């Protein structure tokens, strides 16, 4: 499989993060071009295959912005105002368009981690 995928897990609840909004941007010359907005399903993944694939899957710099604060508030998590984590941007590069890029997010109200998954 080639393309860009993600998976969001809520480490505070031990469950997939369902209903979390994610924006995808292409970065070029210091500007951001909005490409797509997606929402995670009950498994914390995005329906319909890769977020980016085919002719749109180009080498370059990208950014996923995870709307963590809105997700956590919707679950009833008591957050300070402003929230410690609200929007979580993850900027990464795609060098090999014949490869699969998986960018998961492990999320809690006060921390997150990511890595290049498989």
Give this prediction's pTM: 0.96
Please provide the size of the chain in residues: 118
Question: What pLDDT, in 10s, does the model give residues 86-113?
Answer: 999 999 999 999 999 999 999 999 999 9
Question: What pLDDT, in 10s, does the model give residues 24-69?
Answer: 999 999 899 999 999 999 999 999 999 999 999 999 999 999 999 9
């Amino acid at each position: 499989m080639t393309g860009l995928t993600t998976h969001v897990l809520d480490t505070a609840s031990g469950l997939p993060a369902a209903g979390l909004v994610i924006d995808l941007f292409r970065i070029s010359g210091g500007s951001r071009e909005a490409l797509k907005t997606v929402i995670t399903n009950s498994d914390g993944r995005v329906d319909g295959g890769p977020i980016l694939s085919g002719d749109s899957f180009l080498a370059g710099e990208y950014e996923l912005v995870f709307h963590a604060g809105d997700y956590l508030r919707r679950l009833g998590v008591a957050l300070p105002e402003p929230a410690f984590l609200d929007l979580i941007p993850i900027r990464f590069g795609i060098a090999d368009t014949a490869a699969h890029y998986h960018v998961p997010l492990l999320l809690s109200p006060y921390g997150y981690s990511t890595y290049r998954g498989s």
